[in-house]
Amino acid sequence: MKNRPLFLFGLFLAVLTSWAGFVLGSHGQLGSLTPFFDEADGQSHPARLPGLAARGQAVYADLGCAACHTQQVRRPGFGSDQARGWGERQSVARDYIFHAQPQLGASRLGPDLMNLAGRKPQAPSAEELHRLLYTGSAAHPAFPFLYETREIAGEASRQAVRLTGAAAPKAGSEVVATERAQTLVAYLLNVNSGFEYPEARPLPAQSPASPEAKK
């Protein structure tokens, strides 16, 4: 370590190699993924998130839902991802190309949400999601600040969250979702990874459908 500039240069080189290898390397491999055009249904997959849902992803991120929820289904053999009905296939990089900010998460205190909208037999309804977020449950934090309790002026809003029991507002008032809650729920109702890409099949398909399908 006698040579002063050489030491600093060595440090710099070590870190540059690692950063370039991993970050630019994966960018080279995945950065140009395009949607997959399916001849059978004449559509591209994944679809872009509608505007409202795209804004909802930012709400999901800034509330830190990822502290308890993952959005990545692993392939069969990894845990009970399939058995729990979180998705029929593993998540692949192409699923996220339109996510402004993928929320893969690292902890599963709650269920995986990658394919919430595609759940079988039935995805949760907007109504149920609003109720979960407003009241919470024994296992789920509540997010009451995403809702507004207000006097019913004239006719009751059709948007009001239907509540019973202790959570119900006083007579004459109603609980309505703020814009943030609406975008969040719109997002949750759009996270769907139902389409099966060639690269998501357990074994490689005979003829690679697109150059990026190698993986």
Partner 1 sequence: MSTPPTQASAADASPFDGGARWPLTLLAGSALVWLVVGSLLALLTGIQLHTPSFLADCSALTHGRAQAWRETAFLYGWAGNAGVGLGLWILGRLGGHPLRALNWAVVGTVFWNLGLLFGLIGIATGSMTGFAGLQLPRAVQPVLVAAFCAMALPGVLAWAGRKREGTYAAQWYAAAALFLLPWFWTATQAVLLWSPLRGVVQTVAASWHAQSVVALWLMPLALAAAYYVIPKQTGKLLPGYDSAPLAFWTLIVVGSWTFGRHLIGGPVPAWIPTMAVVAQCLLLFHFLVIWLNFRGAFAGGSVTLQYMRFGLVAYLLTGLAETITSFRGIAVHTQFTLFGPALEALLLQGALSMFLFGGLVHQLPRVTGRHWALPSFVSGHASLVMLGVVVSVLSLGWAGLAQDALLNHSQTPFAEILVQLKMPLLLHSAGQFALLAGNVLLLVAFLRSALSCCQAEGASVLRPASSAS
Q: Which of residues 45-74 bind ligand HEC (CB under 6 A)?
A: 60, 63, 65, 67-69
Query: Are 155 and 99 within 8 A, CB to CB?
Result: no
Q: What is the DSSP string of 37-83?
A: EETTTTEEESPPPPHHHHHHHHHHHHTTGGGT----PPPTTSTTTTT
For residue 116, which of 101, 100, 132 has the smallest C-alpha distance?
132
In the complex, the smallest distance separating the C-beta of residue 65 from partner 1, rounded to whole angstroms, is 6
Per rule CB under 8 A, is residue 14 in the interface with partner 1?
A: yes
List alpha helices for the chain, DSSP H: 4-19, 25-30, 51-62, 126-135, 179-188
Per rule CB under 8 A, is residue 103 in the interface with partner 1?
A: yes
Q: Which does 129 bind (CB under 5 to 8 A by kind): ligand HEC, partner 1, none?
A: ligand HEC
Task: Enumerate residues 179-198 that contact ligand HEC by CB under 6 A.
Answer: 184, 188
Give the nearer residue to ligand HEC in terms of CB position, either 89 or 131: 131
Query: Are 61 and 172 within 8 A, CB to CB?
Result: no
Task: Enumerate residues 107-136 that contact ligand HEC by CB under 6 A.
Answer: 109-111, 113, 116, 124, 129, 132
Per rule CB under 8 A, is residue 68 in the interface with partner 1?
A: yes
Cβ-proximal residues to 79 (8 Å cutoff; 6+ apart), any chain: none
Per rule CB under 8 A, is residue 110 in the interface with partner 1?
A: yes
How many residues line the site for ligand HEC (CB under 6 A)?
21
Question: What x/- string results for residues 149 through 178 when contact with ligand HEC is judged by CB under 6 A?
Answer: ------------------------------
Which residue in the set 36, 49, 53, 72 belongs to the binding site for partner 1 (CB under 8 A)? 72
Q: How far apart are CA 84 and CA 121, in angstroms?
A: 12
Q: Which does 124 bind (CB under 5 to 8 A by kind): ligand HEC, partner 1, none?
A: ligand HEC
Per rule CB under 8 A, is residue 159 in the interface with partner 1?
A: no
C-alpha Rg value of the chain to the nearest Å: 22
Which residue in the set 6, 47, 109, 205 belongs to the binding site for partner 1 (CB under 8 A)? 109
In the complex, the smallest distance separating the C-beta of residue 99 from ligand HEC, rounded to whole angstroms, is 15
Q: How far apart are CA 59 and CA 61, in angstroms?
A: 5
